[in-house]
Structure 1
Amino acid sequence: MIPRIALTPGEPAGIGPELVVKLAQRGSAAQLVAVADPALLRQEAINANLPLQLLPFTPQSPALETPPGNLYVQAVPMAEPGLPGVLNIANAPYVLETLRAATRGCLGRHFDALVTGPVHKGIINDAGIPFSGHTEFLAGLAGVGQVVMMLSAKGLRVALATTHLPLKDVSTAITGSHLEQVIGILYQSLRTQFCIDSPCIGVCGLNPHAGEGGHLGREELEIIEPALTRLRAQGLHLIGPLPADTLFTPPQLARCDAVLAMYHDQGLPVLKFKGFGSAVNITLGLPFIRTSVDHGTALDIAGKGRASDGSLMAALSEAVQLAKLQKP
């Protein structure tokens, strides 16, 4: 089986297009389809002094392997030509259209998975388009009410109960029903996507020392622990809530197939310290496979040929593995 993978390079002024061109040099046993402006990819290849042949993508044709130096392309035109490192509000709608086109392809079964490059949230919002991130945007396109953001690196999986929220809003967002939804999606995804028969999930507390018995906050006693008790009654194997500085230690992690952090910067610094440059962002709960890089647009090095495609390669490898597990 040859998986067909959609690639969206992300922000055209960032390193995403360069990474896609570099990835194309390796070739792939999957069919790699860049959903992007062909002119942008050709210019990036020229800037990097790399060979690149763009091949037309036909959804109705059988999937083919991608030879080194080649890339299949589904064309989405940019509004204006771009310059590396220079953001342009006019191209913000282009970035979102690549995601829409790739998502339509996934929902229509033309693609087996979607791999996304880094976007720049600020320029999209500056263009007057409310946008909090890939995860939420793709969930809206797929008509899914709840998805879960999980990053994976070197034997560690970290999922998030909340994603791109100001810290002052995190406590309000953590409710019993929300935690049950998130943990349910995480548990089922570990079973169905990752083929772990009886996954064990370690759950962080919200407060220091997991609330210290209520002396440092009552969310653990009143929200988190009751939610875990209800889920355990359904047969889920859950550890916690434990303080994050206890759960993120080798003896505890050895017991877990994944860790659920309560907020973005509780879990992701540990994950990125362990595997930055090779970590993969995976969206759970979508009706298709989506993986992504673990880094941003790196405008300061865009167009200079210095960007490493390690995380994009890891995201592609993860997408191909997951696609093969799900294919009949």
Structure 2
Amino acid sequence: MKPILAADLGGTLIKLGVVLNGRVLVQKVIPARSDEPLAERLPELEHEWELLAKSIGFMVAACGGIGISFPSIMDPVSGRILTHFGKYVDAPGIDLKEWAWSRFGIPLSIENDARAALIGEWQCGAGRGCDDLVMVTLGTGIGTAAICGGQPFRGAHGQACGVGGHFTLNHDGEICEVCGNIGCAEHEASTAALPRLARREPDFAASALVDEAKLDYAAGDACAIRLRDDALRIWGATAANLVLAYDVSRVIIGGGIAEAPEVVPAIREHIHRHAISPWGKVEVVKSELGDAAALLGCEWIGRHAAGFHAPAAVSC
């Protein structure tokens, strides 16, 4: 089996790798500079992939395909990027499949970043053995994705379950600058929203949060605990909505925030209390693969591009 070239294009970092049989053989992380045109970043991706492949004795053209994880919505048929969320704003005008063929002579497939991470967990991590599951990734934003009946769920236009972070959770909330919705989960409870939310708290000036260069929920005083508890309710409601919408057996919670010991149990309790499941209790587990999830998902994605109509599970 040939290795797959993988790229996880994030807002802050781009992770590049060569993946084979559920293992990242070699990888490199470079600055994303996502405020710059994606077209200007492609030559660097080409160069780094060539160096990575060469370091383990492969030529790029001998690889089986390319899998890319990208922070946006893709057309499920053409693979074209449909929009941007303030990152790589020229991406909708680039035909990445044509670029891959012209530069390397190998096929490319591209997938939403949250869906790519879920595919990685499904194949190699916390999703193994389950073919009906969702994942909620908590971080700068809130990423969501679903696998139903053993297939990544994309919908008619590529956005099914991919924008669960923009479900309305507060009908009296503000307009989200990203999506235009009112009181969406991401606007109400994400690390990007935390500075704005914290400044509204009457005791913020006396909180330990004031002295933190980068705010999180770990300060431990009354202000931080209140913000954390509000966020836990939002995250729990988001996950419960996904359970109700997609009828899944397992929920995976990912992202750096999920490492806090109270997060997964709180979301699990909320789901068990509020999401109807007469058949039994939904499993709620933490991601196992962390930052590697999307790269490992890219192997499945890349093999799909290479002509596998029903890609076999990789050996992890």
> Could you tell me the TM-score, scaled by structure 1's length?
0.31
TM-score by length of 2: 0.32
